Amino acid sequence: MRPREAFGVAVRVFGLLVSCAAVLYLLTAILLFFVPHYRPDISPAWHYLLSGVIGLVFGVYLLRGAPHIVRFAYHGERSDA
């Protein structure tokens, strides 16, 4: 496995972790929409919803391989070699 491929795998694993965290944020937002006084000292539900949506979009981008990031990291190397 070449370094570029290993970096791509690491990016995808990080994307999986970000996506899982985003799903937890979305589940928390759903819980807070249905039970607003679940914990009085917790942030509003829209904070969790916004964080979950942004995290999910970014996590899916990383899971898809993040071609811009990999291309930036390995600028001089050809991808088809």
Would you state the pLDDT for residue 79?
A: 56
Q: How many other CB atoms sit within 10 Å of the CB of residue 47? A: 14
The better pLDDT of the pair 16, 44 is held by 16
Would you state the pLDDT for residue 81?
A: 46
The better pLDDT of the pair 34, 58 is held by 58
pLDDT tens digits, 36-77 = 777 777 788 888 999 999 999 999 999 998 888 888 888 876
Q: What are phi and psi of 70, to 5 degrees?
A: -65, -40
Domain ranges for the chain: 3-73
Sign of CA dihedral 64, 69, 70, 75: positive
pTM (2 d.p.): 0.80
